[in-house]
Each structure stands twice: as structure tokens, then as C-alpha cells.
Amino acid sequence: MNMKSFVFCCVIFILSASMVSGAGTIASVSVNSYPLSEVLNFSVDPAFTSQNTIIDFTITLRNIGNQPINATPRINITGSGGGLVASLVLTPIEIAVGDDATFISSWNTGSNQVGIYTADMIVGYEGKTTDVVQTSFTIQAVTPPPSGGSGSTTPPVTSAPGTPAAETPESVTPPAELLPVLPPLLPPVEQPLGEGRIRFVKYPIIEETRPGETTTADIVVSNIGEAEITPVDVIVSGVPNEWVEVMSDTAGLGPGDTRSINMGFSIPAGAFPGNYRVTTTLTSGESEAMTFFILRVKPYPAELERPSVTRRVVVDSEKGVSIVGLKVENAGRFIQRLDIVEEIPKDVASHVNQVDFGVPPTEIIEADPVVRWQMDDIDFFETRTLSYEVSGAFEEYSTFVDWPLRQMNILYDISPPEEIVEISRVQALTLLPGDTGNLSITLFNRAIVPISTGLVVDPPTGWRIDPANLSMVLGPESESTLNFTVTAPVRATLGVYTATFRLVYNDREAVKDVSLFVGAPSSDEFPLVIFVLGAVLVLTFIGIYSLGRRIYKGRRKKTVYREDVVSTVQRIKDEMMKGGK
């Protein structure tokens, strides 16, 4: 071995050793955990509100790191003077890698002064924090109700015994219908009426609803006196007449008799959000007995595209309990999980053992008590009700009225759902400019039931695909092949074009892009093309000649050859022969 060969072998050995060493180093590298969160949204709704109303703060986060995070948002609310008004610390939730989560926390504006307020939000997670995000809202003044105290500027709705309320003219809801300050106490449960004595056995304290919805409220009364009460009229006031319809069967109440007063409320889509005091008065002769509850219209429009919660509290004075109901309406799509976090005021229950849950909570976060219900399978537009009872028929009802929902968590399933019906196969198609061909598409129904589908075709510009749309019913677990006629534009250039097929079924849509190719004739096909073009030219020449003969015979004139046509045909043939060489 000469010196050059020896040096070359040494170099190869050193390079090989370094590559093996480098490969070992790369294999030992590990990926570090990197938690990272991004705030997608922080908003308040409504941005313009009044005193003693509930507003919602909405926070949406995305986990853009490479490990799950436990996120804990905090909101600090300050007044126009810069002083801290409230601090909200939300219950933490775990967000998986790549997932989005929405926190919604409610806050009661209470008796805070009219003015502009600022909310600063920051999220803590895994020892890190996001940047501070800020939003603002305004507490506006509301005109107080008339001095009569009913909270109504429209005539009351009166129900004659045993009959529905009479229709009244439509009226516009004035701002004076809203209560800027809530009354502190409920009227007594027992009150004299006529010759007897009325007891309000069951009655609402708070009934939350939303614009465009209907709701009901029931009051149960009993004559606990020794004399009959007759006649009895029911008057409902505090809301516009067209909102409410009253049904009652209190024509007469004998000793020990119990009757129900049913009220149906239809809230207009344009109703003012806020608190309305609904007063129910029973009259007999010159005497009367009354009670009231708060009808709260929350600022949730009909087109709201997320879950919402409304509260109802009803007192059963006979059983000595208060019944709390949370109505959960899901208007959000692609929701993987929904959490309802409820903090029960200490005035209502100081320990979770004092609460009788109709639907047991998923988790007891704190025993004093803060609980969480988890819903993993709530459907789009599904409504559920969570309820529980606490001991006591409370006369001091402001605790119930001022009671916001602590928190709602929304975790989304952002991965696309598996398609039930899919475009499973597409036959490729290549055309020449101006040509027409057939395209086949196969649909597959995975479901075990028939599904009605529609297919809409969006061709490339200048192309024609027939049929442009069609409807069909796919059998269970079956395939169906559809044939389309595709025509390319005459002036189409070589290349790839895209046609979009949109398959619509149920409330879903599957989209498939199909490539259409425009090609040129192959070299093997060129002589054939020349032959065809030549034949066309010859036939054209013969046709012209025959036409001339017919003209000659018909007119008995001398045939005149069109030298320009002959020369043109000869020129085209010469060019074709040159091109074929």
C-alpha cells in the first residue's frame, strides 16, 4: 500500500468514527417540557350595565406548549379612581396540549357607583403567568320606579277567578321598569285577607330568564283561617302587560283550601336586561295580601353561541326548604366538556352536609361549600337542570338575588369529528382542451340508518360539470357511485385544475377537492392527429367542390374556382407536412 492509499484510509476511518460518535450524541438528546399559554379572548358582557345586575367575564385560553397546564385566571376590578373594587380568583382547570378552554365568571355590580370600571386579567400556570389583558365596562344610572313602589308604569294584569288574564294593549318597556335598588325583605309569609288568613305556601324569590324566551312562575296559597275568603282576585304588576298571562283558580278559599296561581312570561327579544320586581296581590273586598319576586332578564340574546346558565330559587314554607335550580342551555358546538362551579353563600349553607343535592356534584372543591358538576356528553342545543335543597325559608332574600354563578368552564373538542358519510373514492380524469370525459365519485355511509344527503359541485372557472347538484338517500353501511360529465374549456392551458365537491348531510358538511388534469397529445398520437386533420381538410375541399357543382347546375353558369380557398388549403397541408417531419 502506497502512502496516498494509507492516508485516504485513515481519513475514512476518522470520519466514520466521528459519524458514529455524533449519532450516539443525537440519540441521547431529550425534549424539555415547555408549558406555554396564550390568551385568545377576554371580554365582559354586557359592557354597559346598571347597579344590582350580573355581568359575565369570558376568558379563552389555548395551550400552545408541549405539556398539559393547570390554568388559574385572576380578575382585578378597579373603579374610575383606581381603587380595587373586587378580585375574582377562578377555580383552576387542566388544559391539554393544543386545546382551547373558556372560563366564564359572573359578578354582581351591587351598589357600586355609576362610572367606568376596568378589569385586569392574568392567568397563572405551572409557575408562569400570561401578560395582563384589560377590558372595561360602564355602570349606568337607571331611572327609579314610581313612588308607588310597584316598579311598574303600566296598568296591572288582573285575573278574574278561574279565567285567564284579559288582553291589554301593547306598550313599550320604559327604563323605569328596572329596579336600581332591590328591596331588602320579603313580605310576611302569613297575612290576613278578608275574613280569613292567607299563607304563601310556595313562592319564587328569583326567576332568571333571557330575551326571546318563555318561562313560568307558580305561587301556592292556602287559607289557614277559620272563615271562607270570597271572592278572591289576583293582580300581577311590575312588568309590561303583554309579557305576562295569569291563570288562577282562587274563586273562593274555604278554611284549609289550597290553590295555585300560575304565571306565564313571554320575554320580547328586545327586552331591557335587568331586574323586574313582579308583585302578586290577592284582593278580597277592601283587604289584600301580597308577595313579590325578582324576574331577572339576563343579557343573553337568542343568537348566543355558547352555553348559558339561569337560576331559579323557590321557597317551600310548608316544608321549610328553599329549592335552587340551575338551568344549563348549551348553544355551543364541538364542546368536549362543560363544568358548572357553584359557590353556595354561607348564609344559605355553611357546609356541604347541609345541602340535599338532586344531582350529586362531580367534585366537592370546598366543604363550605363549593361544588362542581361535570358534563362530558352534553349535546348541541341540549338543556339540563341541576337542583338542590337547603333548609330554611328565608325572609331576607337579597342573598339569593345577589347570587351570581361562580364559574363555568368550557373545554372544546377542536379535532374534526369523524365523518359519518364520506367521499371515499374519486376516479382521476385527464382531458384535452375542449374535451368531455366522465368522472366517478363514490360515497360511503358508515351509519346503520339511511341518511339523506346533497352534493353540490363547484367547478373550476370555465369548466362544466353535470349534474351541478343532486340529492340522494344513502342506505345503511353502503356505497353509492355517482357519475359526472366533465367538459374542459376549449382554451384551457396545460396544468392541474381543482373542482370542489361539497357533501351536505344532517347539520354537517364534508368537502373534497378533486384534481382535473389538462394534457397535450402524446408523440405517438401526432401522426393520427395529422391524418385526421388532413381528412377533415380533404372532406372540406370536396364539400366546397360539390357545392360549386350544384351552383353551376342550378344556375347554368361557368364554374369559377375560388383560388383563395384552394391556396389556403394547400398552405395548411404544406404546414402540416412540415410539422410531421
Amino acid identity of 133? Answer: V
CATH 3.40.50.620, domain 421-518, yes or no: no
Least confident of 466-470, 490-494, 554-558: 554-558
Quote the pLDDT of residue 148. 37
pLDDT at residue 27 tops 70: no
Question: What is the per-residue DSSP string for 478-506?
Answer: -EEEEEEEEE--TTPPSEEEEEEEEEEET
What mean pLDDT, rounded, does the chain reach? 79
Give residue 271's pLDDT band: very low, low, confident or very high (50, 70, 90): confident
* pLDDT tens digits along 233-262: 899 999 999 999 998 876 788 999 999 999
By three-state DSSP, how is residue 27 classified?
helix
Q: Are strands 196-209 and 308-316 parallel, antiparallel or unpaired?
A: antiparallel
Packed helices 563-580 and 526-555: angle between N→C axes, nearest 10 degrees: 170
- Residue showing cell 355511509: 445
CA distances from 172 to 62, 271, 279, 300 (A): 44, 9, 19, 20
* pLDDT tens digits along 364-395: 999 999 999 999 988 989 999 999 999 876 66
**Cα 99-104-105 angle, rounded to 5 deg:** 140
Distance CA 280, CA 17 (A): 94
Mean pLDDT of 62-76: 90
User: Which run of H or of E encompasses 295?
Assistant: strand 287-297
Question: Which architecture characterizes domain 37-140 according to CATH?
Answer: Sandwich (2.60)
Q: Are strands 321-329 and 308-316 parallel, antiparallel or unpaired?
A: antiparallel
pLDDT at residue 416 tops 80: no
Using an 8 Å Cβ cutoff, are 164 and 246 in contact?
yes
Burial annotation 186-210 (CB, 10 A radius, 16+ → b, else e): beebebebbbbbbbbbbbbbbbbbb
Amino acid identity of 395? Answer: E
Beta bridge partners of 297: 209, 274
Distant-in-sequence contacts of 463-469, Cβ < 8 A, 24+ apart = 463/487, 463/488, 463/489, 463/492, 463/497, 463/499, 463/516, 465/439, 465/499
Quote the pLDDT of residue 514. 86
Residue 440 main-chain phi, psi, to 5 deg: -110, 135
Question: What is the per-residue DSSP string for 413-480?
Answer: --SPPPPSEEEEEE--EEE-TT-EEEEEEEEEE-SSS-EEEEEEEEPPTT-EEESSEEEEEEPTT-EE
- Check residues 569 and 453 and name the one with the higher pLDDT: 453
**Cα 431-435-438 angle, rounded to 5 deg:** 65
Amino acid identity of 83? Answer: G
Distance CA 322, CA 328 (A): 20
Quote the pLDDT of residue 568. 52
- Check residues 2 and 346 and name the one with the higher pLDDT: 346
Say whether pTM exceeds 0.95.
Answer: no
C-alpha 450, offset from chain centre: 27
Topology, domain 142-303? Immunoglobulin-like (2.60.40)
Amino acid identity of 549? Answer: R
Distance CA 443, CA 144 (A): 64
Domain ranges of the chain: 37-140, 142-303, 421-518, 527-580
Number of helices followed by number of strands (H, E) in the chain: 4, 36
pLDDT at residue 127 tops 80: yes
Strand order in the sheet with 508-518: 429-431, 508-518, 495-505, 451-458, 469-474
**For residue 240, which of 314, 176, 313 has the smallest C-alpha distance?**
176
CA distances from 337 to 100, 111, 334, 414, 415 (A): 11, 35, 9, 12, 14
Distance CA 75, CA 118 (A): 10
Distance CA 285, CA 466 (A): 80
- Check residues 174 and 506 and name the one with the higher pLDDT: 506
Quote the pLDDT of residue 522. 54
Using an 8 Å Cβ cutoff, are 238 and 325 in contact?
no
37-140 and 142-303, same CATH topology: yes
- Check residues 47 and 117 and name the one with the higher pLDDT: 117
**For residue 263, which of 241, 248, 253, 281 has the smallest C-alpha distance?**
248
**For residue 436, which of 493, 487, 497, 496 has the smallest C-alpha distance?**
487
By three-state DSSP, how is residue 201 classified?
strand
pLDDT at residue 13 tops 70: no
Quote the pLDDT of residue 549. 56
Distance CA 50, CA 308 (A): 20
- Check residues 501 and 547 and name the one with the higher pLDDT: 501
Using an 8 Å Cβ cutoff, are 492 and 433 in contact?
yes
Sign of CA dihedral 574, 578, 579, 580: positive
Least confident of 170-174, 185-189, 293-297: 170-174
Distance CA 193, CA 480 (A): 75
Give residue 563's pLDDT band: very low, low, confident or very high (50, 70, 90): low
Q: Which of 178-182, 216-220, 549-553 has the highest mean pLDDT?
A: 216-220
Quote the pLDDT of residue 531. 52
Question: What is the per-residue DSSP string for 119-136?
Answer: EEEEEEETTEEPPPEEEE
pLDDT at residue 412 tops 70: yes
* pLDDT tens digits along 516-555: 888 866 555 445 545 545 555 555 556 555 555 554 454 4
Percent pLDDT > 70 in the chain is 73
- Check residues 23 and 498 and name the one with the higher pLDDT: 498
Using an 8 Å Cβ cutoff, are 179 and 50 in contact?
no
Residue 508 main-chain phi, psi, to 5 deg: -125, 165
Cell of 182: 332591590
